[in-house]
Amino acid sequence: MRWVGIALALSFLWYALAQVSLGDHLVLRASKDGGVPVSWSAPLSLLEGNWRSKELKGEIEFEPEAAPPEEIGALLPELARGTTLTIHVGHEGKGSIDGIELDGVEVRPGLSSILKSADGNTLPLGLAALIFATLLINTRWWLLLHAAGCPTSWLNALRITYTGLFFNVILPGLSGGDLARGWIAARGHPERRSAAVVTVVADRVFGLWAMTLVALAAVSTSDLRFESLRLPVAAAAAGLTLAWVVYSLEGPRRWLRLQERLKRLPKGSVLVDLDRVGQELAQRPKVVLCALGLSFANHFTSALAIFWLARGLGEEVSFHQILVISTVANTLSAIPLAPGGLGVGEILFGGLFRMAGGSWALGVGTSLAWRLELLAVGLIGGLASLLPGGREMRQEFRAAAKGDPVVEDSQGNQSTSETSQKDPPLGPEESTPVSSP
C-alpha cells in the first residue's frame, strides 16, 4: 500500500507542476464596442524589470496560428512576433501596451521567475511562525498527557514531538510521527498505556476539528470568490461538531450502544479501554476548551507562516484569503490519499490561489515552499534524537514505522524487537511533575 500512496503522490505532483509554465506569459484583455472582454496570452521574454514591476519591457513570442483576436489586434495593429513592448501594469488588473489602454494587462510569472524574484527577507518570518506553531502543537499534546494521567515535562514532550517530525520526513507515511509518539508515550507510562495512546488520537482530533471551524469562519466572512466552498466547509465543521457531541454525551452513546458495538470488534477489550480514557478527557470541559484554543492559535500561526511565504514569492493575497486557503487545503490534505498529502496539497493550493484571483504557479510555489520549511523543522527535530537517550528513541520510532509491537516483560517493562531491555524507559524526566489541569 505504501508504494500505491507514493505512486499517487507522484501523479498528483506531476499534474500540479504540469499546469505551471517555466517561462513568463503576457495576458491581455480587451473588448470591442463595449462587449465581453476577450483574453489572449503569449510567451514573454523580459528585457527590463521583472514580473513584479509596474513598468517593464519585454519581447513577445507567438506562432502565426496563435495570433491575437480581433478585439486586441484592432487596438495593437503592429503587434507581431518578436515585437518589443513597453508594458504598464495598472491597478485592478488594467494597464497599457505602448501607451494604449487595455481592459486588462497581466504578466503571469513562470516558475523560474518566481524563484529568481523571491524575497529572502520574508522567508525566515514564515519559518519563525512555523516553529512557533509547532510549539503550540506540543503544548496541546503536553496538556492532554497531563489530563490523561501521563505527566511529563514540557521539554520532554517537545523532544518527542520534534523527533516525530524528523521521522515523518525520512519515513513518509507516519502522520506527523503520531503513531511513534503514542508508542513512546505508552512506554514511559506502562500503567497508563491506553491513556498515552489516546492523547495522540485526541491531539489529532482537536487539531482537525478546530481547523474546520476556522475554515468555516474564514469562508463565511470572505467575498463571493470562495462562495462555492461555504456549503462543504460548513458540512465538515458541523459533522465533526456533531460527532463530538454524540461521543461525549451519555444519552447518544447509550442509544447507539457504542460500548457493546466496540466489544464485538476485533480487539474489542482494547477499544473499550481506549474509549474509557477518551470519555475521561471528553468530560473535562476546561481541557477541551484549552485544547481547542491552542488549536485555533496554531492554525492562525500556520496561516501567518504561509502568508509570509506567499508574499515572499510575490503573491499579493490578503491574510484573510490565506486563512481560507491554508485551512481548506490542509484539511483536505489530511485525507490519506498520498504520503504527507504530497501532490494533493500542491493541487489544492494552486486551485485555491486561482480561485482567490491569484496565480496557480504561485499557489504551487507556496505549497512547495511550505513543504521545504516543514522539512527544515523536521531536520531540526532530528537533533533531538542525537541528545542523550536518543538511541532508544530512534529505535522506538523505527519500530513504529515497521509495525513491531511493544511488548511487556515480567517486570512490566515494555520493549520492541529492536530495543534492549537494559535501556531505561522513556518516561517523565526527573523534574517535579506538573499537576493535571
pLDDT, tens digit, for every residue of 282-321? Answer: 889 999 999 999 999 999 999 999 999 999 988 888 999 9
Cell numbers describing residue 149: 494521567
Q: Residue 289's pLDDT is what?
A: 95
pLDDT for 205 beyond 70? yes
Secondary structure of the chain as H, E, C letters: CHHHHHHHHHHHHHHHHHCCCCCEEEEEEECCCCCCCEEEEEEEEEEECCCCCCEEEEEECCCHHHCCCHHHHHHCCCCCCCCEEEEEECHHHCEEECCEEECEEEEECCHHHHHHCCCCCCHHHHHHHHHHHHHHHHHHHHHHHHHCCCCCCHHHHHHHHHHHHHHHHHCCCCCCCHHHHHHHHHHHCHHHHHHHHHHHHHHHHHHHHHHHHHHHHHHHCCCHHHHHHHHHHHHHHHHHHHHHHHHHCHHHHHHHCHHHHHHCCCCHHHHHHHHHHHHHHHCCHHHHHHHHHHHHHHHHHHHHHHHHHHHHHCCCCCHHHHHHHHHHHHHHHCCCCCHHHCCHHHHHHHHHHHHCCCCHHHHHHHHHHHHHHHHHHHHHHHHHHHCCCHHHHHHHHHHHHHCCCCEECCCCCEECCCCCCCCCCCCCCCCCCCCCC
Half-sphere exposure of 165 (CA within 13 A, CB side): 26
Q: Residue 15's pLDDT is what?
A: 81
Backbone angles phi, psi at 82, to 5 degrees: 85, 0
pLDDT for 208 beyond 90? yes
Cα 102 to the center of its chain, rounded Å: 39
Q: pTM for the complete prediction?
A: 0.80
The pLDDT confidence band at residue 231, using thresholds 50, 70 and 90, is very high
Dihedral of alpha carbons 46, 47, 50, 51, sign: negative
Q: Residue 39's pLDDT is what?
A: 87
Strand order, beta sheet including 104-108 = 100-102, 95-97, 84-89, 55-60, 38-48, 24-30, 104-108
pLDDT for 421 beyond 50? no
Query: Looking up cell 480561485, which residue turns up?
Result: 355
Out of 220-229, 273-282, 326-335, 402-411, least confident range: 402-411
d(CA 136, CA 74): 58
Out of 40-49, 84-93, 168-177, least confident range: 168-177
pLDDT for 90 beyond 90? no
Dihedral of alpha carbons 211, 213, 214, 219, sign: positive
Q: Residue 437's pLDDT is what?
A: 37
Q: Residue 384's pLDDT is what?
A: 62
Q: Residue 389's pLDDT is what?
A: 57
Are 259 and 275 a contacting pair, CB within 8 Å?
Answer: yes
More confident residue, 92 or 58: 58
Q: Residue 426's pLDDT is what?
A: 40
Are 167 and 401 a contacting pair, CB within 8 Å?
Answer: yes
d(CA 371, CA 378): 10
Nearest to 69, CA basis, from 25, 32, 44: 32
Are 348 and 370 a contacting pair, CB within 8 Å?
Answer: no
Neighbours of 71 (CB within 10 A): 21
More confident residue, 414 or 384: 384
Q: Residue 432's pLDDT is what?
A: 32
Q: Residue 25's pLDDT is what?
A: 86
Q: What is the mean pLDDT of residues 26-50?
A: 82
Dihedral of alpha carbons 155, 157, 163, 166, sign: negative
pLDDT for 81 beyond 60? yes
Q: What is the mean pLDDT of residues 232-260?
A: 89
**Average pLDDT of the chain, as a whole number:** 80
